[in-house]
A and B are shown apart, each in its own frame.
Chain A
Amino acid sequence: MPVRVQTEDFDVSAEIARLRAGEPKIGAVASFVGVVRDLNDGSNVSQMTLEHYPGMTEKALERIVTEAKQRWDIFDVLVVHRVGPLAPTDQIVLVAVTSAHRGEAFAACEFVMDYLKTQAPFWKKERTGAGSRWVEARDSDDAAAQRWRQ
């Protein structure tokens, strides 16, 4: 499965090893790991809870992976995204892309993350000293996704 939504943590090394197992044609693996920070918009964050729309999330992620494969000469894409309560320093998301050369892998990996941030139905709620709040979407994320359209 190129796309997984799960509450459990993931092992980046094991995930990448599995992704490229027995594929000598792979010359490059680019990966991105998103992590929970302890500071957001000037407040200390003690916990972050991720909610999603089961079914649509997987469908949206699979569409993003399909589009990445159409746009770049890459072999495989893996997306693992966690949901549920997380704490600062916890891993949130892994995107890994395999290809023959690094350029395609870097670009596709960034594309998948930019699209994931604006298209996949996940929502973050963070607990700070002042109470709980839903994280607001950022214009900079829309701009990052938009540049792939040009």
Chain B
Amino acid sequence: MDQSEVLKGVAAATFSVKVMFFARLREALGCAGETVFLPTGRPTVEVLRDQLRSRGGPWDTELAPARAVRIAVNQDMATLQTVLKPGDEVAFFPPVTGG
């Protein structure tokens, strides 16, 4: 396999989503947003969440299932079961406290 075929294989096996963090989560993770690559095959928010948790440290503790974390996909409330597609905007944040 020459190099272009290898690169084609990598491109086909993953896609990117834009991930954002707000409020307490943004501060605890030291990250407001980044691009994350996910495996193809209709990955859910749960796949993304687990991939982020595998980084360890605050990623593991802040995104643990026991923590109250809300999720939005493309600016609509979503769940761990929501399926992600290329280019989606996924946000993780604590319960809201406006008003």
B87, chain A: closest CB distance, angstroms? 15
Which stretch of A23-31, A70-78, A97-105, A112-120 is in the interface? A112-120
Does the CB pair B23–A51 fall under 8 Å?
A: yes
Does B95 count as interface, using CB distance less than 8 angstroms?
Answer: yes
Does the CB pair B99–A123 fall under 8 Å?
A: no
Does A107 count as interface, using CB distance less than 8 angstroms?
Answer: no
Chain B residues with Cβ under 8 A from A136's Cβ?
95, 97
Name which residue of chain A comes closest to B28, CB basis. Answer: A134
Q: Which 3 A-B pairs have the closest CB atoms?
A: A122-B98, A137-B95, A123-B23
Chain B residues with Cβ under 8 A from A137's Cβ?
68, 94-97
Does the CB pair B75–A59 fall under 8 Å?
A: yes
Rounded to whole angstroms, the CA-CA distance of A55 and B18 in the bound complex is: 15
- B contact residues vs A (CB 8 Å cutoff): 20, 22-24, 68, 72, 75-77, 91, 93-99
Does the CB pair A135–B97 fall under 8 Å?
A: yes
Name which residue of chain B comes closest to A57, CB basis. Answer: B98
Give A111-133 as 1s and 0s: 1 = Cβ < 8 Å from B's Cβ atoms. Answer: 00100111111111100000000
Name which residue of chain B comes closest to A95, CB basis. Answer: B99
B49, chain A: closest CB distance, angstroms? 18
Name which residue of chain B comes closest to A118, CB basis. Answer: B96
27 of the cross-chain contacts (CB-CB < 8 Å) are A34-B99, A51-B22, A51-B23, A53-B22, A53-B72, A53-B75, A53-B93, A55-B75, A56-B75, A56-B91, A81-B99, A92-B99, A113-B99, A117-B97, A120-B96, A121-B22, A121-B72, A121-B91, A121-B96, A122-B97, A122-B99, A123-B93, A123-B94, A123-B96, A134-B24, A136-B95, A136-B97
